[in-house]
Structure 1
Amino acid sequence: MASELAALAVVSAAVAGALSYARLATSRLPPGIPRLAALLPVLLFLPILPFAFSSIHLRTVSAFFLVWLCAFKLLLLAAGHGPLHPALPLVRFVACAALPIKVRDDRQQRQQPPSRSLPSGFLLSYTAKAALFAALVSARCYRSRMPACAVPAFDGAHVYLMLELFLASAAALARALLGAELEPQFDRPYLASSLRDFWGRRWNLMVPGVLRPCVYRPVRARLGPAAGVLAAFLVSGAMHEVMFYYITLEVGTGEVTAFFALHGACAVAERWCAARLGPRRRLPRPVATALTLAFVVGTGSCLFFAPVIRSGLDKAIVAECEGMLAFLERAARNLAAAAQLT
């Protein structure tokens, strides 16, 4: 843990320095090739940083933050598009680039005044989610005894809670630094009534937030909306293969790309059917939600989770979670003991 914290400090300083350079360089150059050339050293530097961590979680999460989200935001900056802009204050520029956050626009800020404090119910909600995640980690030893139909749901819940807790921690840090209202990162994906609803409006919203301007809109303008959707899913699949490389340190098998290609094709077919059937002939929402989640979990079990489970790294990931929970438990006991002494 001490070595990982030291690595975290070094990586954080390196990211702050690289992004400070990016802001300074782009402030003096027009959008286009000049900005892209100036940002190229940063874009080549960011993929190296996650290898500073030996922890699978820190390596993968830092890759998601820096190699995917931050790199795409810098590419948008090179083209002269948001969410980054050289005129932003330095702290906000670095935070918005390095963390999986999106600051609400000015109109939303006026409707809901910014605050550095956490929203009401935040701590209660995420305490409950953390407790459920801890329970899932503790129950992992019983996974092999579960019914075959329950295993994909168990794995999906584990990934969802782990990812939301990591992103919520980053959002809490950003809120404390910036004192700004942030866009939500998840919107109850377990209530999704279609694949388009799940991937576009509920699940890990920072990803569609960068894929829309980077991939979907340019392709849609040239080839139509169906091609834009397929291109966005294919790019998402390719970037997930990169993320899985940081997990397994092995070249991907293409299964994760196949997962997203399948979902992209199904999302296009779903839109086509919805346009022809009309709202009156759609399935009841509870049925649509059950079918959507069953499809996501079922295909995820066959294609998305397969590389990690096959390599045996799922056991290492769980061991890391157990170690982190034990570390937090010890820290809480130490804080309680110190409070009693004072």
Structure 2
Amino acid sequence: MEEDEGKKFIKAWIIILASLCYSYFITSKIPKGILRFISLLPIFSLFTLLPLSLSRPLTNILFGGFIVWLANFKLLLYAFNLGPLSYDDNDDQPSLLRFIFLAAFPIKIKKVNPSTKSQEGNLVISPNKKEVVLPLNFWSKVVIFVILEVVYSYNKNMVAFCGLMYLAIDIAFGVCDFLVGSTLGIELEPPSDEPYLSTSLQDFWGRRWNLRVTDILRHTVYKPVRSTVVKFAGQKWAQVAGVMASFVVSGLMHELVYYYATRVTPTWEVTWFFVLHGVCVVLEMGVKRGLGRKWKLHWAVPGPLTVGFVMITGFWLFFPQLMRNEVDVKATQDIIDFGKYLKELVIRG
């Protein structure tokens, strides 16, 4: 990592910490609703502009996803005393450290469930599941990531790239989980739930892939849109409107993160990727509703079709902007440079 970029990175985090301290000490004293929302507008603007001060794709992607998207959306919920940053009037205000971690990192505190079984392979088994098919822990994912990175450097194939994307996000979220969980002494929800075992697009997007983003979209987009539309269009169309709005917002936020990483004019391919998947999810919901719950195919049929559809449409619409601008190559170099930087620190120490 370049020295200048390292200094910019530190300055950016200082700005983030100062902004979250303002939100904690000042904004919390303002009544929830429009007034609190207005008080947070400078923070929304500051966070949105922050990645423009950085120059490397990897740091821009991390800040774009963690701060511009997730932190801003959490603060939006906080303006109305909703979401992970809020607290009841009868409860004490959470500590500043807890507030900062919950706002700045893509984490979710695991709810205590007496029927939940113990951990296996660092992945919590859901009480609704009998077993975890592929219980990969953090270090096994790192090893597989390195292997796939070597494979991809020699043969840029679709399967390796999709695996790298999945593992990169899971590893980044896993590092955040470790830092926050060990510091606060709390148990956190896993960032994903074996997305390669998805049996439908609804299962992939709603219950398995990138659950932190899914959760924040559910509370900031899906529920408000559905509750608004249901008043004049009924439950069925309200659900459709909520799903489509969530996918459109996801597409636009991905487009913004892509812009931070590439600094080129958006082509809107990634937005259309999410619009396409939103339409397909809505159609899938309609087919399931028409056929009934009793009619169900074996996983061997819908599973590969679902994963295959995500991969094919991904290489059609989701990945081209990254590859055209060599974000994959530059991000890999960023990781290598960061590793060298850490090695030098260890040697000096």
Q: TM-score range by the shorter chain?
A: 0.7 to 0.9
Q: Distance in 2 between matches of 1:176 and 1:6?
A: 26
Superimposed CA distance per residue, residues 4-57 of structure 1 (whole angstroms, 9 cap, x where no aligned partner)? 443333222221110010112232111111101111111111122223433211
Q: Secondary structure at the match of 2:190?
A: coil
AA matched with 2:306 = T
The aligned amino acid for 2:151 is A
Match of 1:147 in 2: none
Of 127, 130, 136 in structure 1, the residue corresponding to residue 139 of structure 2 is 127
Point out the more displaced range, 34-43 or 8-17. 8-17
Partner of 2:183: 177
Q: Distance in 1 between matches of 2:174 and 2:344?
A: 20
What is the identity, as a one-letter code, of the residue corresponding to 2:141?
K
Q: 1:1-342 maps to which residues of 2 (within 5 A)?
A: 1=1, 2-85=3-86, 87-105=93-111, 107-108=112-113, 121-122=121-122, 125-144=137-156, 151-223=157-229, 224-324=238-338, 330=343
Given residue 232 of structure 1, which amino acid in structure 2 is its aligned partner?
A: S
Give the 3-state SS of the residue equivalent to 1:35 in structure 2: helix
Q: Using the alignment, how far apart are the partners of 1:89 and 1:182 within structure 2? A: 17
What is the match of residue 116 of structure 1? Answer: none
Is the 8 Å Cα contact of residues 92 and 178 (structure 1) preserved in structure 2?
A: yes
| Deviation digits for residues 254-290 of structure 1 (CA, Å, limit 9, x no counterpart) | 1001000000000011011111112333221121110
- Summarize the Cα distance change of 1:32–1:263 in structure 2 as closer, same or farther, 3 Å threshold: same
Question: Which runs of 5 or more residues in structure 1 are unaligned?
Answer: 113-118, 145-150
State the alpha-carbon separation in 2 of the partners of residues 314 and 6 from structure 1.
23
CA distance in structure 1 between the aligned counterparts of 2:177 and 2:13, rounded to whole angstroms: 16
What SS is found at the alignment partner of 2:108? coil
Give the residue type in structure 2 aligned to 1:306.
P
Q: 1:102: how far off?
A: 1.2
> How many Å apart are 1:177 and its aligned residue?
2.1
Structure 1 consecutive aligned stretches of length 4 or more whose deviation exceeds 6 Å: none
Any unmatched runs of 5+ in structure 2? Answer: 88-92, 124-135, 230-237
Tell me if the contact between 1:186 and 1:204 (Cα under 8 Å) persists in the aligned partners: yes
Structure 1 vs Structure 2 CA RMSD = 2.4
Structure 1 stretch displaced more, 247-256 or 309-318: 309-318
Identity of aligned residues (%): 37
The structural deviation recorded for 1:79 is 1.7
CA distance in structure 1 between the aligned counterparts of 2:143 and 2:5, rounded to whole angstroms: 24
Bigger helix share: 1
Structure 1 pair 111/3, CA: closer, same or farther in 2 (3 Å)? farther
Question: Number of aligned pairs?
Answer: 322
State the SS of the aligned residue for 1:250.
coil
